[in-house]
Structure 1
Amino acid sequence: MTALNQRTIVGARSVAIERTPQRLDPLGAQSAWLLVPLLGALALAYALFSTIRHAGQIRDLSMGIVAIVVLFLAVLVAAIRTHPGLAPFGRWSHFSIIGVTLTAACLFTASVWGSNERIQDDWGQIAVALLLVAMPLYRPIGEVAGSAIVAAVVLGCLAAAQHSLVIANSPLVYATVSATPILALAAGGAGYAWTITGETLRWREVAREGQQRLDGELRQAAERMIAQERMTALNVEAVPFLTALLRSGTVTGEDVTQARAIADRLRGTAVRAVARTWLEDTVDLALAPRLVQSTSVDAPGPAQAHVDDPDRLERVLTADQRAIVGALIATVAARPGLDPESLRVTASNPERPRFLLEAHVVEPRADLRRELLPLVSSLNSVAMQATMRLRAGDLAVRFTYPGGGSNDRGGRRR
């Protein structure tokens, strides 16, 4: 009886995943990362321009400089924290970045308080809005909307309280002018993320329906392949042996021993064919171009030697996780510096399944990181904890479910 029970499988597959592009389409969200530093750089450039333009209105220059420094820190943290190598981007990272940006905006307002002439050329609301545009790619829309509303209320109230403006109007108008860029750009980013999320979910439904239709055909094809392998094994060993036995007309002790050996080999081949797992097939296919296959019926396929998963813990992996794990194995197997015999995938701890992919790859470390880091980050985005370690050509990628534990936390940055 396997140590992996149904409750563990259901629990692992039921880990809640936020409905965000980063979670539902990790690689797609990674490709959009450059948008964050670009928007941050635009916010900084506008802040500098606006501060220079307000030169005659600034009452506290040191506070104005501090405001830009604080904004720079917010932009820097946003660019680093949203990097694909540090996925997923969490709730508190989002709140911290927007909170610091909002603080910078308040500091600028304080630096011109009492002498500010116009609200519309202040940079505070623009900086907050620009950073909020990209947030829906990483965080749920409702959460981003909450941040936008809080920022809009704070800056709107500050705008309404100013009495030095040259354009006389209702405080509500000043508040609206200050809040509109924040709400508008946040809504635009949320609308884009909503569309991407909806399309991703619809594509998944189509793919799931197609997979269900193909399951029966794939099962029949697998059964035919197993039957063909059995027939081939019989034709190669059993049939010649029985033919020779009929011709001799006698059964010797040596014949009995040979018959037992043939039966053991055929039985072992049948058991391996029936018990073959998705993980073994994935490694087998990935390494097929690199390894010379043995034609002997008693020689195990390459995956048998490269996968150690006696409890079949692979069953906890969802379709998304399998896709990423498969891509990870294929990418490692295709590296020119890989020693094919060194590739090994080990699964352990049935209560909280852990997986370890190990290989010896003689390649520049930077090249290997560039190829594998997006996939490791994608695993972090689909409710797993993944790390990567590179040491003297030895590659180790660990991935487990939250709470499963890892002795290499942070190794993905090494």
Structure 2
Amino acid sequence: MTALNPRTIVRARSVTLERTPQRLDPLGAQSAWPLVPLLGGVALAYAVYSTIIHAGQIRDASLAIVAIGVLLLAVVIATIRTHPGFAPFGRWSHFSVVAFSVTAAALFDSSVWGRNERIQDDWGQIAVALLLIAMPLYRPIGEVAGSAVVAAIVLGGLAAAQHSLVIANIPLVYATVAATPILALAAGGAGYAWTLTGETLRWREVAREGQLRLEAELRQAAERMVAQERMTALNAEAVPFLTSLAHRGTVTAEDIDSARSIAERLRRMSVRAVSRTWLEDTLELALAPRLVEAPAAATDERDGPRVDDPDRLERVLTADQRAIVGAMIATVAGRPGLDPCSVLLTAREPERPSFALHAAIAEPRRDLRRELLPFVSSLNSVAMRATMRLRAGDVTIRFAYPHGGFPDNEGRRR
């Protein structure tokens, strides 16, 4: 058995996450996901409408159709990659969305080149702006601002170069008209994300203080449960045994074996109480109401819910990761179809800590996926790699640090 290297704990707890709502508040960012396909749908609808009203100005209809197709591709990429099931939304996904949307806008400009009468009713800058407004929820503000500036320069330059406009003015005005929606909506989204992340960071400071107090309360509650278990064991085994010895006044070989067995069980309980971990406390407290309903099944810890973490790899988990794992355990414990004695949480590979939560839950896969996917997505957003497998009444959720090192700010291995 390999002990957990302190350097592994330091590396795990030192991973710097991007300052984005998706990284700092994964569950909150998931609730905002419908905004992305909604904005994408609006952009597509406006592109089709604008293309129709430009019918008399279109020089190449095939280019106009291809432009809408490329915009559709940008919307599909944004919708799929920002979905909670594919978190986190990375840098290259962001650049792909911007690149495809700007390309679509440029293709539309090409389709009406030499015949376009107004910049104001072109759909390119509006579509790009609508897609950019949601990006600060998933990417750093500086990165989104850079993308917005590049997109504004490209489309502004194309607008300034047009020579068929009915409103005569200097090229700078045309460029400003095309660039303003992009910069304005990107700035609005960035401002919202800046405020949201600031509030989230402040809330986390308050939550961290509360968590420190809660951990002490959690430890006390767990200690009370263990003390109650020991008292129950004493009342159920030791006290009757000693009482019978006192009444008989003699000690047999069978009594010696019984005393040794009782002492060994009490010793195991005492050792377990001293070496209890956060994962054990969390699992036991979450399942306590369920185990009351089935005490016989949980009398032997080998047959009941348990945590198998001999190297105490839980120490690598940060406060954010513990909060998500704790919420996930509580959600699993609350499922009506759960067999509480089937819950097993294992931790392996001290050099690259890996965890697995397994449980038997007799519920439809669709319901389980809907309830548990947010936690899998959240773990992916806080520097881990998480997967979920659902098979015929069994659920297995694995979460680990990537092999080959811890992730960088873009979620890649290094």
Deviation at 1:253, TM superposition (A): 4.3
Cα drift, residue 16 of structure 1: 2.4
Deviation by residue 1:257-277 (Cα, 9 ceiling, x = unmatched):
443333222211111111122
Q: CA deviation at 1:123?
A: 0.7
**Separation of aligned partners in 1, 2:391 and 2:240:** 52
1:2 shift after superposition: 6.8
Instruction: Output the CA distance in 1 between the equivalents of 2:376 and 2:214.
Output: 29
In 1, distance between residues paired with 2:97 and 2:245? 81
SS at match of 1:347: strand
Deviation of 1:367 after TM superposition, in Å, equals 2.0
Find the aligned partners of 2:247 and 2:50 in 1 and give their Cα distance. 101
- The 3 A distance-change label for structure 1 pair 369 and 139 is same
Identity %: 77
Unaligned segments of structure 2, at least 5 residues: 406-414
**Is residue 353–residue 404 contact of structure 1 (8 Å, CA) maintained in 2?**
no
Letter in 1 for 2:265: R
Q: Which runs of 5+ in 1 are unaligned?
A: 406-414
Give 1:364's aligned residue.
364
Give TM-score, length-normalised by structure 2.
0.89
Letter aligned with residue 101 of structure 2: T
Per-residue CA deviations over 1:329-387 (Å, capped at 9, x if unaligned) read: 23233333333333222211111111112233333222222222122111111111111
Give the counterpart letter for 1:94 in structure 2.
H
Distance 1:59 1:330, change over 3 A: same
Q: Is this contact kept in 1: 2:222–2:285, CA < 8 A?
A: no
Alpha-carbon distance between aligned partners in 2 of 1:2 and 1:266, rounded to the nearest angstrom = 29
- When residues 183 and 396 of structure 1 are mapped into structure 2, their CA distance, relative to the original with a 3 A threshold, is same
Structure 2: distance between partners of 1:29 and 1:303: 39
1:117 alignment counterpart:
117
Instruction: Report the Cα distance in structure 1 between the residues aligned to 2:323 and 2:202, rounded to whole angstroms.
Output: 17
> CA contact under 8 A between 1:293 and 1:301: conserved in structure 2?
no
Separation (CA, whole Å) in 2 of partners of 1:172 and 1:24: 40
Cα separation, 2, equivalents of 1:323 and 1:241:
44
Task: Give matches, 1:3-42, under 5 Å.
Answer: 3-42=3-42
| 8 A contact 1:18–1:140 mirrored in 2 | yes
Question: How many Å separate the matches in 1 of 2:250 and 2:76?
Answer: 85
Quote the residue 1:197 is aligned against.
197
SS in 2 for 1:136: helix
Matches within 5 A, 1:299-314: 299-301=299-301, 305-314=305-314
Aligned to 1:44: 44
Q: Distance in 1 between matches of 2:388 and 2:295?
A: 36
Q: 1:303 to 1:90 in 2, by over 3 A?
A: farther
Distance 1:149 1:295 in 2: 64
Corresponding residue SS for 1:56: helix
Give me the whole-angstrom Cα distance separating, in 2, the residues matched to 1:345 and 1:107: 54
Distance 1:290 1:117, change over 3 A: same
Contact kept? 1:291, 1:302, Cα under 8 Å: no
1:318 aligned residue: 318
Per the alignment, residue 96 of structure 2 pairs with 96
Give 1:396-411 correspondences, 5 Å limit: 396-403=396-403
Matching residue's letter, 1:323: A
- Aligned equivalent of 2:412: none
Name the structure 2 match of 1:348: 348
Q: Does 1:210 align with 2:202?
A: no
Q: Deviation per CA, 1:90-110: give whole Å up to 9, x if none.
A: 100000011000000000111
Superposed CA offset, 1:297-345 (max 9, x none): x944589643221111122112221222222223233333333333222
The aligned amino acid for 2:370 is: R
- Is the contact made by 2:303 and 2:341 (CA closer than 8 Å) also made in structure 1? no
Task: Please name the residue that 2:188 is paired with.
Answer: 188
Within 1, Cα distance between the matches of 2:336 and 2:217? 35
Distance 1:256 1:366, change over 3 A: closer
On the 8 A contact 2:308/2:347 being kept in 1, the answer is yes
**Cα distance in structure 2, aligned partners of 1:58 and 1:289:** 69
Whole-angstrom CA distance in 2 between matches of 1:323 and 1:7: 23
- SS of the aligned residue for 1:346 comes to strand
**SS of the residue aligned with 2:356?**
strand
How far has the Cα of 1:230 moved from its partner?
4.6
Larger CA deviation: 124-133 vs 161-170: 161-170
Deviates more, 1:375-384 or 1:394-403: 394-403
- Report the counterpart of residue 290 of structure 2 in structure 1: 290
Count of paired positions: 404
Aligned letter for 1:365?
A: R
